[in-house]
Amino acid sequence: MEFKIAVIGLGYVGLPLAVEFSKKHNVIGFDINKTRVSELNKGIDETLEVTEEDLKSVLNKEKIGLKITDNKEDLANCNIYIVTVPTPVDINNRPLLTPLIKSSQTIGEYLKKDDIVIYESTVYPGVTEDVCAPILEEVSGLTFNKDFTCGYSPERINPGDKKHTITKIKKVTSGSTPKTAEIVNNLYASIITAGTHLAPSIKTAEAAKVIENAQRDINIAFVNELAKIFNKLDIDTQAVLEAASTKWNFLPFKPGLVGGHCIGVDPYYLAQKAQEVGYHPEIILAGRRLNDSMGEFVASDFVKLMLNKGKEVKNAKVLMLGITFKENCPDIRNTKAIDVYKSLKSYNIDVDVYDPWADTKEVEEEYSISLVSDITHKYDGVIHVVSHNEFNKLDLAKFKKEKAVIYDVKGTLNVSIIDKRL
């Protein structure tokens, strides 16, 4: 079977996938964002997941290569469709399947007999076969598992991670029929050097993905709760964890802000499905509540530190280091750094935000924050929220000499300079 692949959604997940597949197959990369499509066709990837060299090396080749487009008619001749659109939650933390539904509707317009639609987006068990497949049927007029089939291979991209890149992360695969499962597994095995794991069913693969992030969320929630307890006991949490980590089977999680598009969202998908079948998940939702509370806790702890150091809080000038959801990554989606910022502002603190990784325009549009590029001002306090490598090179001793209170959320700064760490 000769594959002509369409990758729907060219964000942090879709673009690296499209580039890898286009080294061996004819690939159409489709995205509805015209600006994104235009930039990618120039070799510019603002997510920094793919280098300009790699992108340009596969673009618009005559045979094997990648064509990036926002014209859905370019999908007409494809026989493998891979969906990598986001799966967010709404304001009430309920799964928002709109991007997935619209993508399925678009594919349905061009779906042909024997085509395969593979979903990579994180969902709760059952979405592929119970939500997406019926949409494909309705729009195309074809019958699921007779005229076309589906696969599910959950994405495992870690934004900003240059060590665990797409080909180096083992891939879980599955299919709605045994034949499709084999085709999907072989397809991914052709580009994933780390290997593949063929799950027995699509629902199994969906469940495996959603618990990966839920597990991490719960483990971080545990150490965040420890941080709150040890804060009241006046014990350094990081020092406790360092001591406990000397045991071979202690899990080395650290306290902090849990945001981003995956860990801060995916547990709600599993919780929603659990509630639909009559089970109220206690640990999963408790972990989410605790992690969601950390931004306010960090801000209040920082304010208490300032007061203890004799600083006037109202109208204080504070420098906040970082706004992205994680270190060395430009992604600001669902960043919990914004919770720290809003909480600090609620104390009538004048907050400057400095982040060399974040896009100034994007931060302005999303959060109405104007990032600063000049941090030579005198500050009453500095709060280290995101551990970008650049922050380890800053002359924090200068701020210390000027009597600034320095609070380290990430626990990565030199302990001789900081006043407290989470």
Cα gap 223→254, rounded to integer Å: 6
The answer for residues whose C-beta is within 8 angstroms of residue 402's C-beta and 6 or more apart is 378, 379
Query: HEC profile for 97-157?
Result: CHHHHHHHHHHHCCCCCCCEEEECCCCCCCHHHHHHHHHHHHHHCCCECCCEEEEECCCCC
Residue type, 176: S
What is d(CA 66, CA 269) in angstroms, rounded to the nearest whole number?
33
Q: What is the distance between the alpha carbons of residues 10 and 86, in angstroms, rounded to a whole number? A: 10
Query: How far apart (Å, rounded) are the C-alpha atoms in residues 214 and 18?
Result: 27
132 is catalytic: no
In 3D space, the residue among 80, 44, 112 whose CA is nearest the CA of residue 190 turns out to be: 80
State how far the Cα of 36 lies from the Cα of 329, in Å rounded to an integer.
18
Q: Which of 78, 132, 150, 262 is catalytic?
A: 262
Supply φ then ψ for residue 381, to 5 degrees: -155, 155
Q: CA nearest 93: which of 237, 289, 347?
A: 289
For residue 89, give the DSSP letter.
B
What's the CA gap between 213 and 221, in Å, rounded?
Answer: 12
Output the six-digit token pair for 22: 């286009």
**For 31-72, where are the E strands, in sequence order?**
65-69
As a whole number of angstroms, the distance between CA 253 and CA 270 comes to 22
Residues 334, 266 contacting (CB under 8 angstroms): no
Instruction: Tell me if 381 sits within 8 A of 405, measured CB to CB.
Output: yes
**What is the CA angle 411-413-417, rounded to 5?**
120
Structure token pair of residue 373:
């590029």
Specify the DSSP class assigned to residue 186.
Answer: H
Residues with active-site annotation: 262
